[in-house]
Amino acid sequence: MTIRIENLSKRYGDFVALDDISLNVREGELLALLGPSGSGKTTLLRAIAGLEPADAGRVLLTGEDASQLSVQARRVGFVFQHYALFRHMNIRENIAFGLRVRRGEARWPEARIRERVSELLSLVQLEGLESRYPSQLSGGQRQRVALARALAIEPRVLLLDEPFGALDAQVRRDLRRWLRELHDRTGLTTVFVTHDQEEALELADRVAILNQGRIEQLGTPAETYDQPASPFVYSFVGAVNRLPGEWRDGRVQVAGLDLAGPAGDSGSGSVELYVRPEHLQLTQAGEGWTATVLGSQRSGPRQRLWARLHNGDAEVEVELPAGPAAPVHIAGAEVRLAPVQYGVFPG
C-alpha cells in the first residue's frame, strides 16, 4: 500500500505539531520518521492511523482519501510505544483480538483464527507462551506480541511508534535486526517513528527527518548522512563542527581558508560551515588550517582529536583512523587540517 500525505497540518491550541507536511511512502518500503521530541513525528504517524484528525490537508491510502475512513476501517497495524497490550487477556487472546471483533461476513471461522495465531506466534518466536499474560513477559516479548497482534489483521501498512524506546540497549539492537528481517520477509509497507538516529539509519530504506512540524529532509540514510540538506539535519544526524565564515567572490572564506562553495553554489553574506569530524583530514604544510592539538582520545578503531584553529580560535573535533601505523598526536602539537566534505549554510 502507498501512503500519500498532502499538506497535512495540525495544531494543539497554540502548539503547531504539523506544519503543511507532504510525503509519499512507497509500496513496501521501510520508512523512518526521525526527529527530536516535539518534532511532530508521532503526530504524523497517528494522523496516518486516523488517531489524530488533521486540521488541514489529507491522507491518501493507496489513492483513497482516508478522511472518510474511521480508524477501524483503515486496516492499519499500529504498534504503540508502551505496547498497549490488553492486560486481562492472555497472549493468544491479544493476538486474536482483531480477528474476533470482526462481524458478519468478514469474520473468520474459529479454526482459521487459531491457525493464524499459531502462525504469528512462530513468526515472532513466542511459541509456547500463548497462555501467559502480558505481566508475565519481558519488555522485548511484549513488544513482539504487540507486533503479532497488529499483523494478525493483515494490515495494509504497519505503523510503529518508537517501538524499541522502552527497552535496554542489547534488546533494542537484536529487535532492530529482527524487525528488518521481518519486513524483508513480509514486504509490508512500514513506517516507524524514532528519535534514535542510529536506529533510523540502520533500519530504514528512507528517512524523513522532522523538526518543529516540518520535514527537513527526505532521503536514504546515506543521503541524510552524507548530504544533509539543512543545519538541523547536519547536527541531528551524526556529529558536526560548525565554523563561521563568509562569502567572498564566489568562494567561502572560513578562518582564513578559502573554499569552494559546495556544488558550485554562490551567495553573499556570512555563513556557517558544517563539517563532520571524519571529514577533516590532516594535510601537509601549506594547505588547510593550522591548529594546535588540545587533546586526543583513542576509541576502538578510531582516534578523536580536539584542536584549536589558529585563525579565529574555533575548536574542532576530528576523527582519524587509529592503529599501529597512525601518527600519535599529543597536546600542544601543531597539525594542519582541511575539510574534504562540508555544507555551507547562511549563518
Q: Which is nearer to other proteins, 46 or 206 (CB)?
A: 46
The one-character DSSP state at 328 is P
Q: Which is nearer to other proteins, 50 or 288 (CB)?
A: 50
Give the residue with the Cβ less far from other proteins, 153 or 338: 153
The CA-CA-CA angle for residues 161, 162, 168, to 5°, reads 145
Q: How many degrees, rounded to 5, is the angle at CA 149 between CA 145 and CA 155?
A: 140
Distance CA 63, CA 5 (A): 10
Min dist. Cβ of residue 76 to other proteins (A)? 6
According to the 3-state scheme, what is the secondary structure of 188-218?
Answer: CEEEEEECCHHHHHHHCCEEEEEECCEEEEE
Which residue type sits at 300? G
Q: Given the C-alpha cell 553574506, which residue does it identify?
A: 269
- Cα–Cα dist 6/20, whole Å: 8
Scan for cell 588547510, then name that residue: 288
Of 196 and 319, CB closest to other proteins: 196
Residue 212 CB, nearest approach to other proteins (Å): 10
The nearer residue to other proteins, 100 or 248, going by C-beta atoms, is 100
Shortest distance, CB of residue 252 to other proteins, whole angstroms?
Answer: 36
Q: How far is the CB of 106 from other proteins (least distance, A)?
A: 9
Instruction: In angstroms, give the least distance from the CB of 292 to other proteins.
Output: 40
Q: Coil, helix or strand for 257? A: strand
Site residues, other proteins (CB under 8 A): 12-13, 15, 17, 37-40, 42-43, 49-53, 70-72, 74-78, 80, 82, 84, 86-89, 97-98, 101-102, 125, 133, 135, 138-141, 144, 149-150, 152-153, 165-168, 170-171, 174-175, 177-178, 181
Closer of 43 and 194 to other proteins (Cβ): 43
Minimum separation from the CB atom of position 269 to other proteins (A): 33
- CA proximity to 80, closest of 158, 137, 162, 153: 162
